[in-house]
Structure 1
């Protein structure tokens, strides 16, 4: 989804139907456009963004929909940021969370060792078929949501409730942390949480 590619699985009966030359029917989900505006603040990670987006999209009830991100904010996100957002699709209930194919997609294909001819084919096909990000700027969605990336602050959630997030500045007020004091012996203080990811 982060690369602008979606794969739809079908069951055994549907596959057999197609093998026998018959049409396989599927109901297309709602398509929801999410315009990402603004730029993230310094120090804000993809995890901060995805937790805020998950909370927002759950409230907006995008269950079962194909969500398509676009706008200035979407263009500013790296492939890694986009993958982090798309990976949280089940948490906000959508079927897919797509980003358009653009130069970052092409850079990713090169970075991962794809053959030059294959990379050129992907770019040419996307541009010819109208799937390149520039061609999709005029897309009209039945429903459009707006999310400002500059509004995202450092936050935490989960692990069981990724939609129930709270700002890290509220940890002390919620009784989950106390102000940090540097220990004099150089060791980690009691109750310290260390995350390696």
Structure 2
């Protein structure tokens, strides 16, 4: 959004969760998600608008185990203070570390305008920093009981404006929100 956080970078989340709010099992497994992402639910269209991705190391390692690298040649910043496993052929991987506002500032300096943030800890950190403008959450009709939650503790309420909810034949329910109030960046 114009003027937000001193940059014109839009930060979005596009994520699948179990109905009980988990983005992965405790061990990081995603086996409860529909194979291949299930029926088309806007992911390809969303990805076409994305300039770069920011993901955590654990998400990166999970994605490395997929049959194919899902992000093509799009730049992917992996947040880690440790060395990363080798990137697959054709993948544009860069290791970064630092607070979310610094990451976004660095990407803005490169002309990046739309960032897709993924991974539980990464999403939570960017939300707490007040950097996320859009959330697209696709709920899969399954309860898994425990796992890595999509959301964590926040310093105060983060108000959202409902944009749309779509349902799909397979039972996927996708809701899109805009973030209305941002946390105080000084916290």
State the TM-score, normalized to the length of structure 1.
0.29
Greater share of residues in strand = 2
Greater share of residues in helix = 1
